[in-house]
Amino acid sequence: MIISVLVLMHCQKVTLPDPMEGMPVFEVDASLGTDNLNLIAGEDGYVMRASNALDTSGLTSYTATFEHLDGTGEELRFIFRGVDVQQAMPDSALQAKAYDYLVPMYDSSYLVYRATFTSGVVSNDVITPYAYHWDFGDGTTSNEASPVHDYENLEDRTVYLEVTGANGVKASYERYIVWGLTTEECVVDFSVQGIMNNNGVQISLLNSPSLFYTNYMWNGSSTDSLDFVNLNLAGGNSTQQCLFATLGTALGDVCSATVCKGIYSVASNPINFIGYLETSYAFSMEEVEEILPAPDQLGTVIIEYTAEDGTVYSSSINSQPSDAFFVVNTIEEYEENELGEATRKMNIQFSANLYSETGQLFAPLSGEGTIGVSLPQ
Protein backbone atom coordinates (compact mmCIF):
# COMPACT_ATOMS: atom_id res chain seq x y z
CA MET A 1 0.00 0.00 0.00
CA ILE A 2 1.44 3.40 -0.99
CA ILE A 3 1.49 5.97 1.83
CA SER A 4 1.65 9.60 0.71
CA VAL A 5 3.20 12.28 2.92
CA LEU A 6 0.93 15.29 3.22
CA VAL A 7 2.39 18.79 3.32
CA LEU A 8 -0.12 21.01 5.10
CA MET A 9 -0.83 24.14 3.15
CA HIS A 10 -3.52 25.89 5.22
CA CYS A 11 -5.46 24.97 8.30
CA GLN A 12 -7.94 27.52 9.56
CA LYS A 13 -11.14 27.94 11.44
CA VAL A 14 -14.21 28.77 9.38
CA THR A 15 -15.99 31.75 10.92
CA LEU A 16 -19.26 30.63 12.51
CA PRO A 17 -22.29 32.52 13.64
CA ASP A 18 -22.98 32.72 17.36
CA PRO A 19 -24.97 29.58 18.31
CA MET A 20 -27.54 31.82 19.97
CA GLU A 21 -28.33 33.45 16.63
CA GLY A 22 -29.96 30.35 15.21
CA MET A 23 -29.34 26.81 14.18
CA PRO A 24 -25.69 25.68 14.06
CA VAL A 25 -24.05 25.70 10.64
CA PHE A 26 -21.79 22.66 11.01
CA GLU A 27 -22.70 19.53 12.92
CA VAL A 28 -22.69 15.77 12.64
CA ASP A 29 -25.19 13.37 14.20
CA ALA A 30 -23.94 9.78 14.11
CA SER A 31 -23.92 6.44 15.85
CA LEU A 32 -20.56 4.89 16.70
CA GLY A 33 -21.22 1.26 17.53
CA THR A 34 -23.85 1.45 20.25
CA ASP A 35 -22.95 5.03 21.27
CA ASN A 36 -24.26 8.35 19.96
CA LEU A 37 -21.76 10.79 18.48
CA ASN A 38 -23.14 14.32 18.19
CA LEU A 39 -20.62 17.09 17.45
CA ILE A 40 -21.65 20.73 16.87
CA ALA A 41 -19.26 23.49 15.88
CA GLY A 42 -19.63 26.37 18.34
CA GLU A 43 -20.79 24.18 21.25
CA ASP A 44 -18.88 22.37 23.99
CA GLY A 45 -15.54 23.73 22.76
CA TYR A 46 -15.80 22.31 19.25
CA VAL A 47 -14.95 24.09 16.01
CA MET A 48 -15.08 23.06 12.39
CA ARG A 49 -11.59 23.27 10.87
CA ALA A 50 -11.37 23.31 7.11
CA SER A 51 -8.01 22.53 5.53
CA ASN A 52 -6.42 21.47 2.31
CA ALA A 53 -3.13 19.69 1.82
CA LEU A 54 -0.83 18.84 -1.07
CA ASP A 55 1.06 15.55 -0.93
CA THR A 56 4.44 14.83 -2.51
CA SER A 57 2.83 13.57 -5.73
CA GLY A 58 0.90 16.80 -6.26
CA LEU A 59 -2.48 15.42 -5.14
CA THR A 60 -4.71 17.78 -3.16
CA SER A 61 -6.82 16.57 -0.24
CA TYR A 62 -9.71 18.52 1.32
CA THR A 63 -10.38 17.95 5.01
CA ALA A 64 -13.23 18.84 7.36
CA THR A 65 -12.48 18.25 11.06
CA PHE A 66 -14.68 18.57 14.14
CA GLU A 67 -11.93 19.52 16.58
CA HIS A 68 -11.93 20.36 20.29
CA LEU A 69 -10.19 23.66 21.02
CA ASP A 70 -8.25 22.45 24.09
CA GLY A 71 -7.07 19.28 22.34
CA THR A 72 -9.20 16.95 24.45
CA GLY A 73 -12.36 15.11 23.55
CA GLU A 74 -13.33 13.13 20.51
CA GLU A 75 -12.63 14.33 16.98
CA LEU A 76 -14.09 13.39 13.61
CA ARG A 77 -12.40 14.04 10.29
CA PHE A 78 -13.60 13.72 6.67
CA ILE A 79 -10.94 13.69 3.94
CA PHE A 80 -11.69 14.03 0.22
CA ARG A 81 -8.87 13.00 -2.12
CA GLY A 82 -8.42 14.90 -5.40
CA VAL A 83 -9.45 13.42 -8.71
CA ASP A 84 -6.17 14.18 -10.46
CA VAL A 85 -2.60 15.12 -9.69
CA GLN A 86 -1.96 18.87 -10.15
CA GLN A 87 -5.45 19.36 -11.54
CA ALA A 88 -6.41 22.68 -13.13
CA MET A 89 -9.56 23.07 -10.98
CA PRO A 90 -8.71 22.17 -7.37
CA ASP A 91 -12.35 21.87 -6.27
CA SER A 92 -13.43 19.49 -9.07
CA ALA A 93 -13.14 16.63 -6.56
CA LEU A 94 -15.94 18.16 -4.52
CA GLN A 95 -19.32 17.40 -6.05
CA ALA A 96 -22.77 16.33 -4.95
CA LYS A 97 -22.53 12.60 -5.61
CA ALA A 98 -21.72 9.21 -4.10
CA TYR A 99 -18.08 8.54 -3.22
CA ASP A 100 -16.07 5.36 -2.83
CA TYR A 101 -13.99 4.85 0.28
CA LEU A 102 -10.23 4.62 0.03
CA VAL A 103 -9.35 1.01 0.90
CA PRO A 104 -6.06 -0.88 1.07
CA MET A 105 -4.83 -2.04 -2.31
CA TYR A 106 -1.44 -3.57 -3.00
CA ASP A 107 0.84 -4.10 -5.94
CA SER A 108 0.25 -7.39 -7.73
CA SER A 109 2.40 -9.46 -10.03
CA TYR A 110 1.82 -11.52 -13.15
CA LEU A 111 3.94 -13.65 -15.45
CA VAL A 112 4.84 -12.83 -19.03
CA TYR A 113 6.80 -14.99 -21.44
CA ARG A 114 9.48 -12.78 -22.99
CA ALA A 115 10.78 -13.84 -26.38
CA THR A 116 13.89 -12.27 -27.86
CA PHE A 117 14.07 -12.54 -31.64
CA THR A 118 17.31 -12.00 -33.56
CA SER A 119 17.05 -11.52 -37.30
CA GLY A 120 19.68 -12.39 -39.87
CA VAL A 121 19.91 -11.02 -43.42
CA VAL A 122 22.14 -12.29 -46.24
CA SER A 123 22.54 -10.82 -49.73
CA ASN A 124 25.15 -10.94 -52.47
CA ASP A 125 24.38 -7.34 -53.35
CA VAL A 126 24.32 -3.99 -51.53
CA ILE A 127 20.59 -3.26 -51.15
CA THR A 128 20.51 -1.68 -47.69
CA PRO A 129 18.81 -0.25 -45.71
CA TYR A 130 16.42 -3.08 -44.93
CA ALA A 131 12.83 -2.73 -43.73
CA TYR A 132 11.54 -5.33 -41.26
CA HIS A 133 8.04 -6.63 -40.56
CA TRP A 134 7.31 -9.17 -37.81
CA ASP A 135 4.05 -10.98 -37.08
CA PHE A 136 4.29 -12.63 -33.67
CA GLY A 137 1.29 -14.90 -34.18
CA ASP A 138 -0.80 -13.30 -31.43
CA GLY A 139 -2.20 -10.34 -33.34
CA THR A 140 0.75 -8.03 -32.73
CA THR A 141 3.52 -6.88 -35.06
CA SER A 142 6.82 -5.01 -35.01
CA ASN A 143 9.09 -3.15 -37.44
CA GLU A 144 12.28 -3.59 -35.40
CA ALA A 145 15.21 -5.61 -36.70
CA SER A 146 15.52 -7.80 -33.57
CA PRO A 147 12.54 -7.17 -31.27
CA VAL A 148 11.69 -8.37 -27.77
CA HIS A 149 8.06 -9.45 -27.41
CA ASP A 150 5.99 -10.48 -24.37
CA TYR A 151 3.46 -13.32 -24.72
CA GLU A 152 0.63 -13.87 -22.25
CA ASN A 153 0.93 -17.66 -22.45
CA LEU A 154 2.97 -20.47 -23.97
CA GLU A 155 0.60 -21.37 -26.79
CA ASP A 156 2.34 -22.58 -29.95
CA ARG A 157 2.84 -19.74 -32.42
CA THR A 158 3.68 -19.23 -36.07
CA VAL A 159 6.10 -16.29 -36.16
CA TYR A 160 6.71 -14.57 -39.48
CA LEU A 161 9.53 -12.22 -40.52
CA GLU A 162 9.63 -10.32 -43.81
CA VAL A 163 12.61 -8.20 -44.92
CA THR A 164 12.48 -5.74 -47.80
CA GLY A 165 15.64 -4.45 -49.48
CA ALA A 166 16.13 -0.91 -50.73
CA ASN A 167 15.43 -2.18 -54.27
CA GLY A 168 11.99 -3.52 -53.22
CA VAL A 169 13.00 -7.20 -53.26
CA LYS A 170 11.44 -9.17 -50.39
CA ALA A 171 12.53 -12.23 -48.42
CA SER A 172 10.75 -13.95 -45.56
CA TYR A 173 11.09 -16.66 -42.92
CA GLU A 174 8.14 -18.27 -41.14
CA ARG A 175 8.40 -20.85 -38.39
CA TYR A 176 5.93 -22.80 -36.29
CA ILE A 177 7.29 -22.55 -32.73
CA VAL A 178 6.54 -24.93 -29.89
CA TRP A 179 7.78 -23.03 -26.85
CA GLY A 180 9.91 -24.99 -24.44
CA LEU A 181 10.46 -27.85 -26.89
CA THR A 182 13.53 -26.43 -28.59
CA THR A 183 15.18 -23.15 -29.48
CA GLU A 184 17.41 -24.88 -32.02
CA GLU A 185 17.63 -23.06 -35.32
CA CYS A 186 15.34 -24.54 -37.93
CA VAL A 187 17.67 -24.25 -40.94
CA VAL A 188 15.59 -24.58 -44.08
CA ASP A 189 17.76 -23.28 -46.89
CA PHE A 190 18.60 -23.39 -50.58
CA SER A 191 21.24 -21.86 -52.83
CA VAL A 192 20.70 -19.42 -55.72
CA GLN A 193 23.06 -19.60 -58.72
CA GLY A 194 22.93 -18.14 -62.19
CA ILE A 195 23.38 -20.42 -65.23
CA MET A 196 26.05 -19.32 -67.69
CA ASN A 197 25.14 -17.83 -71.09
CA ASN A 198 21.37 -17.62 -70.61
CA ASN A 199 18.72 -16.19 -68.32
CA GLY A 200 18.54 -19.31 -66.16
CA VAL A 201 18.76 -19.58 -62.39
CA GLN A 202 19.24 -22.83 -60.51
CA ILE A 203 17.72 -23.20 -57.03
CA SER A 204 19.29 -26.06 -55.07
CA LEU A 205 18.29 -27.57 -51.73
CA LEU A 206 20.93 -27.21 -48.99
CA ASN A 207 21.25 -29.71 -46.19
CA SER A 208 20.52 -28.67 -42.61
CA PRO A 209 23.67 -28.75 -40.41
CA SER A 210 22.11 -30.90 -37.65
CA LEU A 211 18.75 -32.23 -38.93
CA PHE A 212 17.50 -33.83 -42.12
CA TYR A 213 14.49 -33.03 -44.29
CA THR A 214 11.58 -35.34 -43.59
CA ASN A 215 9.59 -33.60 -46.34
CA TYR A 216 9.78 -30.42 -48.37
CA MET A 217 8.17 -28.68 -51.31
CA TRP A 218 8.88 -25.66 -53.52
CA ASN A 219 6.46 -22.74 -53.68
CA GLY A 220 3.70 -24.71 -51.95
CA SER A 221 3.58 -27.48 -54.57
CA SER A 222 3.33 -30.85 -52.83
CA THR A 223 4.23 -32.65 -56.06
CA ASP A 224 7.54 -30.83 -56.54
CA SER A 225 10.10 -32.41 -54.19
CA LEU A 226 13.18 -32.19 -56.39
CA ASP A 227 16.54 -31.22 -54.93
CA PHE A 228 16.79 -28.35 -57.38
CA VAL A 229 14.59 -26.12 -59.53
CA ASN A 230 15.56 -24.19 -62.66
CA LEU A 231 14.06 -20.77 -63.30
CA ASN A 232 14.12 -18.44 -66.29
CA LEU A 233 14.73 -14.84 -65.20
CA ALA A 234 15.42 -12.17 -67.81
CA GLY A 235 17.45 -9.09 -66.99
CA GLY A 236 15.55 -6.49 -64.96
CA ASN A 237 13.02 -8.99 -63.60
CA SER A 238 12.60 -10.37 -60.09
CA THR A 239 10.78 -13.25 -58.42
CA GLN A 240 10.41 -14.92 -55.04
CA GLN A 241 11.18 -18.59 -54.48
CA CYS A 242 9.87 -20.35 -51.37
CA LEU A 243 10.78 -23.65 -49.76
CA PHE A 244 8.60 -25.25 -47.11
CA ALA A 245 10.23 -28.07 -45.17
CA THR A 246 9.92 -30.19 -42.05
CA LEU A 247 13.15 -31.19 -40.31
CA GLY A 248 13.69 -33.99 -37.85
CA THR A 249 15.75 -36.87 -36.55
CA ALA A 250 15.27 -40.61 -36.52
CA LEU A 251 13.01 -40.09 -33.50
CA GLY A 252 10.59 -37.81 -35.32
CA ASP A 253 9.93 -34.32 -36.62
CA VAL A 254 11.54 -31.42 -34.77
CA CYS A 255 10.51 -28.24 -36.57
CA SER A 256 8.98 -26.84 -39.72
CA ALA A 257 9.62 -23.57 -41.51
CA THR A 258 9.10 -21.73 -44.76
CA VAL A 259 11.91 -19.67 -46.24
CA CYS A 260 11.32 -17.34 -49.20
CA LYS A 261 14.17 -15.62 -51.00
CA GLY A 262 13.93 -12.65 -53.28
CA ILE A 263 15.78 -13.23 -56.56
CA TYR A 264 16.44 -10.62 -59.22
CA SER A 265 18.38 -10.34 -62.47
CA VAL A 266 20.44 -7.33 -63.53
CA ALA A 267 21.31 -7.14 -67.22
CA SER A 268 25.08 -7.07 -67.74
CA ASN A 269 27.70 -8.30 -70.20
CA PRO A 270 28.62 -11.05 -70.86
CA ILE A 271 26.01 -12.60 -68.53
CA ASN A 272 23.28 -11.24 -66.29
CA PHE A 273 24.03 -10.66 -62.60
CA ILE A 274 21.77 -12.73 -60.35
CA GLY A 275 21.15 -11.14 -56.96
CA TYR A 276 19.28 -12.55 -53.99
CA LEU A 277 18.05 -11.58 -50.53
CA GLU A 278 17.39 -14.05 -47.71
CA THR A 279 16.50 -13.81 -44.03
CA SER A 280 15.93 -15.98 -40.96
CA TYR A 281 15.77 -15.54 -37.21
CA ALA A 282 16.76 -17.18 -33.94
CA PHE A 283 14.90 -16.77 -30.63
CA SER A 284 15.08 -17.37 -26.92
CA MET A 285 12.37 -17.40 -24.25
CA GLU A 286 12.36 -16.48 -20.55
CA GLU A 287 9.67 -16.29 -17.90
CA VAL A 288 9.46 -12.80 -16.35
CA GLU A 289 7.46 -11.59 -13.34
CA GLU A 290 5.98 -8.13 -13.92
CA ILE A 291 4.66 -5.85 -11.18
CA LEU A 292 1.24 -4.22 -11.54
CA PRO A 293 1.09 -1.12 -9.30
CA ALA A 294 -1.94 -0.68 -7.08
CA PRO A 295 -4.50 1.81 -8.45
CA ASP A 296 -4.30 5.36 -7.11
CA GLN A 297 -8.00 5.43 -6.04
CA LEU A 298 -8.34 9.11 -6.86
CA GLY A 299 -11.53 10.92 -5.88
CA THR A 300 -12.16 8.73 -2.83
CA VAL A 301 -13.02 9.62 0.76
CA ILE A 302 -11.63 8.72 4.21
CA ILE A 303 -13.27 9.01 7.63
CA GLU A 304 -11.06 9.21 10.74
CA TYR A 305 -12.23 9.17 14.35
CA THR A 306 -9.96 10.13 17.25
CA ALA A 307 -11.00 8.77 20.64
CA GLU A 308 -10.53 10.71 23.89
CA ASP A 309 -7.34 8.76 24.63
CA GLY A 310 -5.85 9.96 21.32
CA THR A 311 -6.18 6.67 19.43
CA VAL A 312 -7.06 7.17 15.76
CA TYR A 313 -9.40 4.80 13.92
CA SER A 314 -9.85 5.01 10.15
CA SER A 315 -12.06 3.74 7.35
CA SER A 316 -9.02 3.32 5.07
CA ILE A 317 -7.13 0.61 7.00
CA ASN A 318 -9.29 -2.31 5.90
CA SER A 319 -11.96 -3.07 3.30
CA GLN A 320 -15.50 -1.79 3.71
CA PRO A 321 -18.68 -3.91 3.79
CA SER A 322 -20.89 -4.01 0.73
CA ASP A 323 -23.50 -1.72 2.34
CA ALA A 324 -21.00 1.05 3.18
CA PHE A 325 -21.67 4.39 1.49
CA PHE A 326 -20.73 8.06 1.47
CA VAL A 327 -22.95 10.61 -0.25
CA VAL A 328 -22.68 14.37 -0.62
CA ASN A 329 -26.28 15.49 -0.99
CA THR A 330 -25.63 19.18 -1.56
CA ILE A 331 -22.63 21.45 -1.90
CA GLU A 332 -22.70 25.23 -1.90
CA GLU A 333 -20.38 28.19 -1.62
CA TYR A 334 -19.79 29.53 1.86
CA GLU A 335 -18.17 32.68 3.20
CA GLU A 336 -14.44 33.22 2.75
CA ASN A 337 -12.22 32.38 5.68
CA GLU A 338 -9.80 34.77 7.37
CA LEU A 339 -7.14 33.94 4.77
CA GLY A 340 -9.42 34.97 1.95
CA GLU A 341 -9.84 31.39 0.75
CA ALA A 342 -13.12 30.13 -0.61
CA THR A 343 -14.97 27.46 1.35
CA ARG A 344 -17.67 24.95 0.56
CA LYS A 345 -20.50 23.79 2.82
CA MET A 346 -21.50 20.16 2.23
CA ASN A 347 -24.43 18.12 3.48
CA ILE A 348 -23.40 14.47 3.82
CA GLN A 349 -24.67 10.99 4.74
CA PHE A 350 -22.34 8.09 5.46
CA SER A 351 -21.90 4.57 6.76
CA ALA A 352 -18.57 2.82 7.20
CA ASN A 353 -16.51 0.57 9.43
CA LEU A 354 -13.64 2.09 11.42
CA TYR A 355 -10.49 0.05 12.05
CA SER A 356 -7.49 0.21 14.34
CA GLU A 357 -4.02 0.60 12.87
CA THR A 358 -3.63 -3.20 13.00
CA GLY A 359 -6.73 -3.66 10.82
CA GLN A 360 -9.04 -4.85 13.59
CA LEU A 361 -12.64 -3.67 13.51
CA PHE A 362 -13.24 -0.91 16.07
CA ALA A 363 -16.88 0.00 15.39
CA PRO A 364 -19.34 0.83 12.61
CA LEU A 365 -20.01 4.53 12.12
CA SER A 366 -23.08 5.94 10.38
CA GLY A 367 -24.82 9.27 10.34
CA GLU A 368 -25.34 12.58 8.58
CA GLY A 369 -24.32 16.17 8.94
CA THR A 370 -23.01 19.38 7.46
CA ILE A 371 -19.29 20.01 7.09
CA GLY A 372 -17.02 22.66 5.58
CA VAL A 373 -13.83 22.45 3.53
CA SER A 374 -11.53 25.10 2.13
CA LEU A 375 -10.04 25.41 -1.37
CA PRO A 376 -6.44 26.25 -2.25
CA GLN A 377 -5.88 29.74 -3.56
Pick 172 or 24 by higher pLDDT: 172
Q: What residues contact residue 214 under an 8 Å CB cut-off, 6+ apart?
A: 246, 247, 248, 253
pLDDT exceeds cutoff 50 at 211:
yes
- What is the C-alpha separation between 343 and 341, in angstroms, rounded? 6
Average pLDDT, the chain: 86
Which whole number is the average pLDDT over 295-319?
A: 95
Cut 0.75: pTM above it:
no
- Please list, residue by residue across 319-349, b when 16 or more beta carbons sit within 10 angstroms of its beta carbon and e when fewer do: ebeeebebebeebeebeebeeebbbbbbebe
pLDDT class for 196, splitting at 50, 70, 90? low
Which whole number is the average pLDDT over 92-107?
A: 90
Which whole number is the average pLDDT over 205-232?
A: 77
Q: Residue 266: what pLDDT? A: 84
Which whole number is the average pLDDT over 189-210?
A: 79
- What is the C-alpha separation between 215 and 112, in angstroms, rounded? 35
Q: What is the pLDDT of residues 227-275, one digit of tens each?
A: 877 878 877 888 899 999 888 887 788 888 999 999 998 877 666 788 8
pLDDT exceeds cutoff 50 at 5:
no
Q: Residue 183: what pLDDT? A: 55
